[in-house]
């Protein structure tokens, strides 16, 4: 057994015993690379999300909601900064990263990314879509904040101690964002004047949020689970989200959208499978 194999074996045994990884010198290159990738996805998404919220501080329907949006925006920037700080401790040049990428970049409303990206940063791709209406902002709270919460629940059980600990505070604030969205979803959904617009928005955002969770049983996700960086498969997280959000959708008198993942679509004759 090589020295690198021995190092990997010791780390795996440590994780299997339930011990946390605390320092970079305890990591293998594979563990570190996958950890950095996951934390960059979170931090970049937090910052990109905050930038998308900024216009709604001014456009929110009441002064009280202007304050609520400003508070949510501040929370997201702080969350990004907290995770970026952990990344700095792992040697990532965060200052250069923030200068390098345009976190205000958005695609046209008509564009659909599927699981692709519109830029080179690591944000979850739903953050490339514009928030054009107050109902879109509400749906973003209801769907994306909730979806992120389900994904980040695994971090509360992950093997990297510093990330696991900061996530406890982040998750508390994210739950407040979800509650804000749920309150407005019920209000708009039960109002005949806004119900149809909200239903249309739900149909539009639904395939975007369902693609956020990724394909089932991927090699990368298996690697995350191997190192204790994720606990569940992508499909299990997606189903937990659907089970959760279906209740508030029903309470808002909205119809649950249907969705067929592209990997389950049978190609037409003469068409290559994706």
pLDDT recorded at residue 119: 86
Give the CATH number for residue 102.
1.20.1260.10
Burial classification of residue 1, based on how many CB atoms lie within 10 Å of its CB (0-12 exposed, 13-18 middle, 19 or more buried) = exposed
Does a structural domain hold residue 269? no
Domain membership flag for residue 267: no
| Residue 206 pLDDT | 97
- Sign of the dihedral defined by the CA atoms of residues 175, 179, 182, 184, in that order: negative
Query: For residue 135, what pLDDT is reported?
Result: 97
Residue 13 in any domain: the answer is no
pLDDT in single tens digits along all 274 residues of the chain: 687 778 889 999 999 999 999 999 999 999 999 999 999 999 999 999 999 999 999 999 999 999 999 999 999 999 999 999 999 999 999 998 889 999 998 998 888 888 888 888 999 999 999 999 999 999 999 999 999 999 999 999 999 999 999 999 999 999 999 999 999 999 999 999 999 999 999 999 999 999 999 999 999 999 999 999 999 999 999 999 999 999 999 999 999 999 988 876 543 333 332 2
Length of the chain: 274
| Domain-embedded: residue 268 | no
Residue 116 belongs to a domain:
no
DSSP character at residue 21: B
Asked, for residue 14, whether it belongs to a domain, the answer is no
The pLDDT value given to residue 268: 39
**Structural domain span for residue 224:** 21-109+121-255
Question: Quick one: tokens of 176?
Answer: 């407040």
Q: Domains in the chain: how many in total?
A: 1
Radius of gyration of the chain (CA): 20
pLDDT of residue 264: 65
Q: What is the pLDDT of residue 182?
A: 97
Helix ranges restricted to H, 110-191: 134-140, 146-152, 161-190
Distance CA 31, CA 51 (A): 31
In a domain, 251, yes or no: yes
> Within a domain: residue 264?
no
Note the pLDDT of residue 111. 85
pLDDT at 274: 29
For the beta carbon of residue 247, count every other beta carbon within 10 angstroms: 10
CA atoms within 13 A on the CB side of 53: 27
Helix runs in 62-145, H state only: 63-89, 94-100, 134-140
Helical (H) or strand (E) element with 202 = helix 192-212
Q: Which of these, 44, 55, 50, 42, lies nearest to 72 by C-alpha position? A: 50
């Amino acid at each position: 057994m090589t020295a690198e194999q021995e190092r990997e074996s010791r780390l795996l045994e440590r994780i299997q015993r339930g011990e946390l990884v605390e320092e970079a010198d305890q990591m293998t290159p594979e563990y570190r690379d996958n950890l950095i990738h996951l934390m960059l996805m979170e931090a970049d998404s937090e910052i990109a999300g905050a930038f998308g919220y900024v216009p709604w501080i001014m456009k929110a329907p009441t002064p009280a909601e202007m304050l609520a949006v400003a508070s949510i925006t501040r929370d997201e920037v702080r969350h990004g900064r907290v995770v970026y700080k952990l990344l700095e401790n792992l040697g990532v040049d965060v200052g250069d990263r923030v200068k390098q990428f345009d976190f205000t970049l958005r695609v046209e409303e008509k564009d659909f990314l599927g699981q692709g990206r519109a830029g080179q940063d690591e944000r979850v791709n739903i953050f490339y879509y514009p928030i054009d209406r107050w109902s879109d902002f509400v749906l973003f709270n209801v769907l994306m904040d909730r979806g992120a919460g389900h994904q980040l629940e695994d971090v509360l059980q992950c093997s990297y101690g510093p990330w696991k600990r900061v996530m406890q505070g982040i998750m508390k604030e994210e739950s407040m964002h979800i509650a804000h969205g749920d309150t407005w979803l019920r209000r708009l959904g039960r109002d005949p004047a806004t119900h149809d617009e909200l239903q249309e928005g739900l149909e539009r955002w639904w395939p975007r949020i369902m693609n956020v969770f990724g394909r089932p049983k991927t090699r990368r996700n298996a690697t995350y689970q191997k190192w204790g960086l994720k606990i569940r498969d992508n499909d299990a997280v997606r189903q937990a989200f659907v089970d959760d959000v279906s209740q508030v959708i029903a309470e808002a008198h909205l119809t649950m959208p249907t969705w067929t993942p592209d990997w389950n679509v049978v190609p037409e004759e003469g068409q290559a499978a994706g």
